[in-house]
Amino acid sequence: MLTVAPSSPVAATPSAGVAARRPRRRWIALVVVVVALGFAILGASLVPVPYVTLRPGSTRPVTEQVLVDGAPSYPPEESIAYTTVSIGRASLFEALAGWLDDDVDVLPEAAVRGDRSEEENRKFNFELMDTSKLVAISVALERLGHDVDIHTTGAIVRQIGEGTPAAEVLQLDDVIVAVDGNAVDAPEEVGELLQEGGPGATHTLTVERPPGTGETVDVEISTIASDTDPERALVGIVPLDRIVGADLPVDVTIDSGTVGGPSAGLAFTLAVLDVLTPGELTGGHRVAVTGTMALDGTVGPVGGGAQKAITVRDSDYDVFLVPLAEVDEVREAVGDDVEVIGVGTLEDALEALDTLGGNAGSLLAGASAVSP
């Protein structure tokens, strides 16, 4: 008898073609993901965002850039240096990286440039540099006993007090060109014109905005009383005279190259004094300096203190003179690697340098070292 054995069950298996397609699909998917990620990274590195980065810049010796004509000069062996920061518009990737880097500050673009275009901002910073140099030369020559006649075309709003009348109507870097129709064309005139009517009076300020464009707007502002003098009227700003010229008894020029901004004012002032007096103002130490300079000798804050401090440290400077308001920020950035000295006036800076063993003592005593 013929018998047939029952068939054994057999598991179904894919064909060879199907098995080959699955790894290929996985590779295609992986390539798509990698390409998409690459485009995302590329986009993040190229697409700008409304932020700028502040990075450590450079230290620049300045005394050799001070040129004197018509009077004796005494170039020192060790030059005072001013400091810069590197400011650049950020991409998304750069902004994210900057937020994770302690050496970099990421700020809204409007906080740095205001309403100015990139070109307007560049022009404005060169104007601030020109003003800074004129102020420095004027203050230095006056320190040496000379009469200097200053010409101004307004007052730049450099600081605005929180909660003050100015905070409601003014912007940083506004230029006040008139008060109640009276042109601001003399040093420190804004404060004098605002005294009319005393605290509580209302004034019309004519403001150049954006600065450097010649376009103006009128704003109404009321004054408040000073905390230290109830009869003195204030609006809550720190102004900086916009100087366009000066009648100088000695021909002094400073070559600042392509650097803009007002932050080298104190360094320029000290460098001019150093070149016009015998000896070494620094006592042979490597000294870097930052801070604005006002006509009354006041040193003002500049921003970017941490980045400048890192630059000073990495450039092997011994001493860093900084505005009083930025001492804590600078010391936190460099620790004990650099001797950081806070100064509020030119007098403070000279006293600090005097402790280094240089010739600052003669300037503190009011000695004149140049001839008209």
pLDDT over 50 at 369, yes or no: no
Using pLDDT thresholds of 50, 70 and 90, give the confidence band for residue 3: very low
- In terms of pLDDT, which residue wins out, 111 or 72? 72
pLDDT over 60 at 319, yes or no: yes
- Inter-CA distances, 331 with 72, 100, 363, Å: 38, 20, 28
**pLDDT of res. 320:** 95
Round to whole Å and give the CA distance between 268 and 265.
5
Per-residue model confidence as pLDDT tens digits over 83-109: 988 776 766 666 666 566 667 666 677
- In terms of pLDDT, which residue wins out, 214 or 23? 214
Structure tokens at 173: 């870097």
User: What residues pair up with 340 in beta bridges, in sequence order?
Assistant: 320
> Does pTM top 0.75 for this prediction?
no
Structural domains of the chain sorted by starting position, each given as residue range(s) with its CATH number in brackets: 48-113+252-364 (3.30.230), 150-243 (2.30.42.10)
- In terms of pLDDT, which residue wins out, 227 or 203? 203
Round to whole Å and give the CA distance between 359 and 62.
18
Structure tokens at 55: 């990075």
pLDDT over 70 at 321, yes or no: yes
- In terms of pLDDT, which residue wins out, 366 or 278? 278
- In terms of pLDDT, which residue wins out, 43 or 171? 171
Q: What is the mean pLDDT of residues 203-215?
A: 89
Structure tokens at 356: 């280094």
**pLDDT of res. 114:** 67
Q: What is the mean pLDDT of residues 44-55?
A: 61
Round to whole Å and give the CA distance between 350 and 283.
12
User: What residues pair up with 179 in beta bridges, in sequence order?
Assistant: 182, 205
Which is nearest to 129 in space by CA: 72, 79, 77, 60?
Answer: 60
pLDDT over 80 at 159, yes or no: yes
**pLDDT of res. 35:** 54
Round to whole Å and give the CA distance between 299 and 345.
5
- Inter-CA distances, 289 with 60, 84, 180, 292, 342, Å: 10, 10, 38, 10, 10
- Inter-CA distances, 287 with 40, 346, 354, Å: 46, 15, 12
Which is nearest to 144 in space by CA: 32, 272, 289, 2?
Answer: 272
**pLDDT of res. 93:** 61
Using pLDDT thresholds of 50, 70 and 90, give the confidence band for residue 372: very low
**pLDDT of res. 324:** 93
Q: Is 188 buried (19+), middle (13-18) or exposed (0-12) by CB count in 10 A?
A: middle
pLDDT over 60 at 22, yes or no: no
**pLDDT of res. 190:** 93
**pLDDT of res. 70:** 80
pLDDT over 60 at 34, yes or no: no
